[in-house]
Structure 1
C-alpha cells in the first residue's frame, strides 16, 4: 500500500492491529485465540484468518534479538550490583519468556494485518499469449 493511500473506515492501521490483536478488516478484538494462536475467523465480520500465511518466521529473529538485549541487561546488572545467581534466574527467565511471547504476538499480528491491507496472495503464473 503506497504511503499516501487512505485506509478504509473500520480498518485499523497495521501497528494498532498488531499491538491490540484487532481484526485487520473490521477492527474487532478477535485476532488471537491464545497467546500467539490465531482464531480461525473473525467473530464480528467473518474474515478468514487461515488464508494468510504468517508462519513462525518471526520466532527465530525475536528470540535472538530479545535474547541479546536481555543478556546485555543481565550483564549490566551483574556489573553494577553483583546480585546472587538466584536473582538472575528469578528476574530474567520470566522476563525473557514474557518478552518473546508478547513480541511474537505483535510480530504475527503485524504480518497478518500487513498481508491483509496489501491483499497479499500466493504468486500465480500467468499464461501469456504466444504469437
Structure 2
C-alpha cells in the first residue's frame, strides 16, 4: 500500500503529490509531464489563475503595513515608493508563485479535482 503524502508538505516542497519524491516542475513554472520517481501522469494538471490570485492577495496583505509605515514616518514622494516597492513585490511574487502553483496542483491531485462538466455534455452538442 502506498504511503499517504500531505498535499501541503509536497506542494510547498514542489514535489510529486502521488509519491512525494519527484519534482513537479521541469522549468520555473512549467509542470513536468510526469513524475520522474513514480511515473504519475501530470498531463491533466491545470491550476489556472488560482496561484496568481492567492499570491497577489497575500502580497497585498503583507506589503501594505510596510508601505504605510514608510509613508507615515518619512512621507516620501510617489516615485520613491515606486522605486522601492516595485522590485520587492516582483521578487516576492516570483518566489511565492512556484510553491503556490505546486500546492494548488497537490490539492487538486489529492481531491481528484477535474474540470466541471454538465450531464449529457460528452460531445453530443446539447
TM-score (norm 1): 0.69
Aligned residue for 2:42? 49
Aligned residues: 118
CA contact (8 A) 2:11 2:100 kept: yes
TM-score (norm 2): 0.72
Q: Gapped runs of 5+ residues in structure 2?
A: 121-126
Write the distance in 1 (CA, Å) between the matches of 2:31 and 2:14.
9
Per-residue displacement from partner, 1:72-122 (whole Å, max 9, x unpaired)?
312212323556878755642332112212322222212211111122234
The 3-state SS of whatever aligns with 1:67 is helix
Which of 112, 118, 124 is the matching residue for 2:105?
A: 112
CA contact (8 A) 1:36 1:101 kept: no
Write the distance in 1 (CA, Å) between the matches of 2:45 and 2:25.
14
Answer 1 or 2: higher relative contact order, Cα 8 Å, separation at least 6: 2
Write the distance in 2 (CA, Å) between the matches of 1:66 and 1:105.
14
CA RMSD of aligned residues (A): 2.8
Aligned residue for 1:22? 15
Change (3 A) 1:105 1:86: same
